[in-house]
Amino acid sequence: MNLRASRKQEARVGFETARSTCWVVLLECLWSLRFELLAWEEAGSAADVEDVARRLCEQARDESPPFLAWGEYGVALAALLKDEWATVILPSRLCAVC
């Protein structure tokens, strides 16, 4: 709601609160970051999308391929929003199985 009302700082505080309350359960943290990524995507904030996407990748790596994919999507989206899309190479897409 804060992002839709262009209150980015209040939204950041709300997201930080959500992250701080879910640190014990990995899945809750991953979902919290995923929802935050969606919100910043809707707001069109490249810097925030990239920040959250990188944190999501870090949390999901070696734990959850689907959430890692969402994080990588966010990294690519942030590059697109910054008009730097040609420079993005996502490591997990270089593996033999992918």
Residue 17 lies in a domain: yes
Provide the sign of the torsion angle of the four alpha carbons 56, 15, 36, 20, taken in this order: positive
Residue 20 lies in a domain: yes
Q: What is the dihedral of CA 89, 53, 41, 29, to 10 degrees?
A: 150
pLDDT attached to residue 91: 59
Is residue 28 a contact partner of residue 20, using CB atoms and an 8 Å limit? no
Residue 3 lies in a domain: no
Q: What is the mean pLDDT of residues 72-97?
A: 74
Q: How confident is the model at residue 95 (pLDDT cuts 50, 70, 90)?
A: very low
Q: Domain limits at 64?
A: 8-94
Domain count, the chain: 1
What's the rounded Cα separation, in Å, for the pair 29 and 20?
Answer: 9
Distinct helix (H) and strand (E) counts, the chain? 4, 0
Q: Flag whether pLDDT at 28 surpasses 70.
A: yes
pLDDT attached to residue 89: 64
Residue 44 lies in a domain: yes
Residue 42 lies in a domain: yes
Residue 85 lies in a domain: yes
